[in-house]
Chain A
Amino acid sequence: MSAPSLDAVIVGAGVVGAACAYYATRAGLSVAVVDRGPVAGGTTGAGEGNLLVSDKEPGPELELALLSTRLWRELAAALPPEDAVEYEPKGGLVLAPDETALTALRAFAAGQCAAGVEAREVDEHELAHLEPELTKGLAGGFHYPQDAQVQPARAAAALLRAARSRGALVRLGEEVTAVLTGPHGAVRGVRTPRGELHAPAVVNATGTWGGRLAALAGTRLPVLPRRGFVLVTEPLPPGLIRHKVYAADYIADVASDSAALQSSAVVEGTPAGPVLIGATRERVGFDRTLSTEALRRLAGQATALFPRLADVHAIRTYCGFRPYLPDHLPAIGPDPRVPGLHHACGHEGAGIGLAPATGLLVTAALTGDEPPVGAWPFRPERFDSRGPADDFSDPFDRPDGPPPSPGART
């Protein structure tokens, strides 16, 4: 029995793989989506769903984010209401604790505005109006009306469901163990424990595990994990926290190369009531052990912004591993080293936001159409010039598992 012929196999059913499947099937392509786990079982299920332009400096990522902002708005209208992706164009509020921070923020925002971001300075008085529970005495801040929110797992599931309704084959619980190549090195499909899936293109949407899939295809992509913790509170009355609120030092953290723990909590309410406080950033490999230091900082920063939260209970905390590349930009597009292999991974802390634009870019590459934004900065082979693959091996990239107990390291 021969399966209907496929145009592409998309590996990964996170938000990025789901968005690729959505746009590819919308363009009339026939695709299969394969994931070793369930939908959103990777980093997508641990993400917060901020669709931010406010934290991005002018450049290729911001361009992608601005396109995605528009696409998410369209998707929210196009997806059936029962999908309940919880899209909320609530806007962001970036705060400057003192005059120094405010001056820096002004310069940053001016650059963003020139690149097409909407940002407006708000004084202390207006801050109190926008966020009544906010602490007093801040120097000021900026309001970013384009910042929005979705529920990441529901968004991924909805995109995948739409793709399936347009004929996408969805195979969950199946790990890709080999990328098949032909005599001239071109990709011709993948192997899973259930058999082979043949297609002239394979899309690597495996997020944090993108380097491993690249290796299966005989090439390399230095994707590394960057851990983040999120704190979730008990449900609070609606309207208590209205925007995505964070302090200005967050922007510096995002672009940092440091392996140490950094955090600057984004605080936001959700339609279901709980407030999300997240997230920390640190490079510790795939270690899931709870870091009380991470919780201390998240709680400290959130209560500094919103004193009322001090008496509110955290009922849950979780962590995930952002897929990041050394220059903090994703790898999107065809890999010239392995014909037929496409990458769509390495979105670090912005993969939910950047997923639709990524899906469009990948689809354009598959159909040969003009890409909606320039894809050159995201080319996957850009790390080659830096030297041999070993240069990217990371001391923190150790396999899953808790660290030794205190007794064992006296």
Chain B
Amino acid sequence: MTPPVDLAVVGAGPAGLAAAVRAAGLGLSVALLDAGERPGGQFHRYPAPGLRAARPEALHHGWRHFARRLRQLETGGVTYLPRHHVWTVARGDGCWLLHAVVGPDETPATVRARAVLLATGAYERQLPFPGWTLPGVVGAGGAQAMLKSGLVLPGRRVVVAGSGPLLLAVAASLAAAGARVPAVVEAADYRAYGRSLPAVLRTPAKLAEGARYGGGLLRRSTRLLTRHAVTAAHGTARVEAVTVTRLDDHWRPVPGTGRRVPCDALAVGHGLVPQLDLAVGLGCATRRTADDTHALVVDADQATTVPGIWAAGESCGIGGADLALTEGEIAADAVARTLHDVPADPRRHAALTRRRTRLRAFADAMAAAHRPGPGWADWLDDATEVCRCEEVTAGRVREAVAGYGAHDTRTVKLLTRAGMGWCQGRMCGQAVARLAGGEGAAAVESRPLSCPVPLRPLAQLPPEAEEFRA
């Protein structure tokens, strides 16, 4: 059997890519595993080859640095393993075992490593509302990703809604690509940032970015409605209009304020949720974030609470690509120091740490501002489907709570099947938690299989006895 690599990095987004390249540069043997076809994660996306898009960089900032890292990935001694979906990280004899399924054939692969860096990123949070399952309703981040990778628009007249700073970026990109964006509907109030103005002021790049989005939007006569939400989507074969309603401080719809806005697509998202399945499976401690999700607890070196497991990027809390990069670099330095006694460069370390502190403060301020108010569940009528995989309605969840003694997501799941389907509650978990009457965040979900795995590769795993002999 080949010896284990020094470091296995899971996730080739900004954090994982930066960490892998940096660690290899410091002399470590590195494997970089990613479920995707190409490096870049959620942030850097390539146009599909057939489209011959001339300038993917137009929709990205930081493309130049990204391109540099890609070159280093090719030349710098990283074993890059695309299309490797890691379904669990297990304890082997003196090393970690990363079990993956590979490519469309889902063949099994196992990577052995002395240390693991989890850079698994985040996915978009969806809060249901009547009509959210209609064709033409897409995720806001998903619309952005579609634009970046395929340059396709979800519609010609696209309402952008939900909450979080990503909405403005999405609206700007849609508008720049030629869509009409009649409204950006933001449930929170950007004025809330005012409370943490110091954090914002120390992050001038963010302000400039905001101004750029704002300017782009204004020129194209988009209305920015804060403290409003899309509380219903209408249409038969596809979305034809949405109802936009004013919200009170708790995100409860204000009666009588709804009005219809015609559109042929709705891009909606409520921020991002850290992707923690592998880490939770390993027993890494998590913390509750200001916007009611969970993120990994890491120390100043990006080490998790499980010795030998590091983490960087959005799995440690949503904070944007720059923060992800910074954390990836810090983690790589720390792993090199731990495994190979590579001395830290104090100037570099101080600069990275300062940068991380500043970006994290800004991210936390934003998270607090965009935290979903408890009243959003009021816009769900009993017929609204909450769990799309298993077709469970809000009414059935409410009945399990009122009539059968459920008061948490697990029990609701057991009694109604909400969250038992293909996505394993990634889509509906937040909504179910709210309907189950829990205050704020659901408990951290444990998903020992981080993705579906065919039985064949499971049956072909090396028998444990052999593993121990090896």
Contact surface of A with B, Cβ cutoff 8 Å:
13, 38-41, 45, 153-154, 157-158, 160-161, 170, 172-173, 231-235, 272, 274, 288-290, 292-293, 295-296, 298-300, 302-303, 309-318, 401-403, 405-408, 410
Contact = CB atoms under 8 A, between A and B. Distances in A.
A173 B405 CA distance: 10
Contact of A170 (B400, B405, B458): B405
B447 A316 contact: yes
B191 interface: no
Contact of B405 (A39, A299, A310, A406): A39
B400 to A, nearest CB: 8
Contacts of B460: 296
A316 B415 CA distance: 17
A311 B91 contact: no
B283 interface: yes
A154 B396 CA distance: 13
B98 to A, nearest CB: 11
**Residue picked from A288, A401, A407, most chain B C-beta under 10 Å:** A407
Given A233-B455, A315-B422, A317-B448, A173 B411 contact: no
26 contacts: A38-B405, A38-B408, A45-B411, A153-B411, A157-B405, A157-B406, A158-B404, A173-B407, A233-B455, A274-B420, A290-B448, A292-B88, A292-B464, A293-B464, A299-B458, A299-B459, A300-B459, A303-B455, A310-B459, A313-B453, A314-B455, A318-B448, A402-B282, A402-B306, A405-B309, A406-B308
B99 A303 contact: no
A407 B308 contact: yes
B194 interface: no
A40 B414 contact: yes
B257 to A, nearest CB: 37
A13 B405 contact: yes
Given A41-B410, A300-B458, A314-B455, 14 more contacts: A40-B411, A153-B411, A161-B405, A170-B405, A172-B405, A234-B422, A292-B97, A302-B455, A311-B454, A314-B449, A314-B452, A314-B453, A402-B283, A405-B91
A161 B414 contact: no
Nearest to B405: A39
A277 to B, nearest CB: 8
Interface string B440-470: 0000001111001111101111011000000
A311 B456 contact: yes
Interface in B409-432: 410-411, 414-415, 417, 420-422, 424
Contacts of B452: 234, 313-315
B455 A161 contact: no
A406 B91 contact: yes
Contacts of A299: 455-456, 458-459
Contact of B415 (A154, A288, A309, A310): A154
Interface of A is mostly: mixed
B135 interface: no
B262 interface: no
B50 interface: no
**Residue picked from B95, B99, B404, B408, most chain A C-beta under 10 Å:** B404
Contacts of A401: 283
A315 B414 contact: no
B93 interface: yes
A402 B307 CA distance: 12
A317 B449 contact: yes
Contact of B96 (A272, A290, A406, A410): A406
Contacts of A154: 414-415
B414 A295 contact: no
Q: Which 9 A-B pairs have the closest CB atoms?
A: A402-B283, A153-B414, A299-B458, A313-B452, A39-B405, A293-B464, A157-B404, A299-B459, A407-B308
**Residue picked from A45, A232, A315, most chain B C-beta under 10 Å:** A315
A182 to B, nearest CB: 31
Contacts of B447: 316
Contact of B461 (A170, A296, A407, A410): A296
A39 B96 CA distance: 37
A372 to B, nearest CB: 28
Nearest to A151: B414
A403 B307 contact: no
B346 interface: no
Nearest to A35: B405
Contacts of B99: 292
A39 B404 contact: yes
Contacts of A303: 455-456, 459
Contacts of B364: none
Contacts of A172: 405, 407
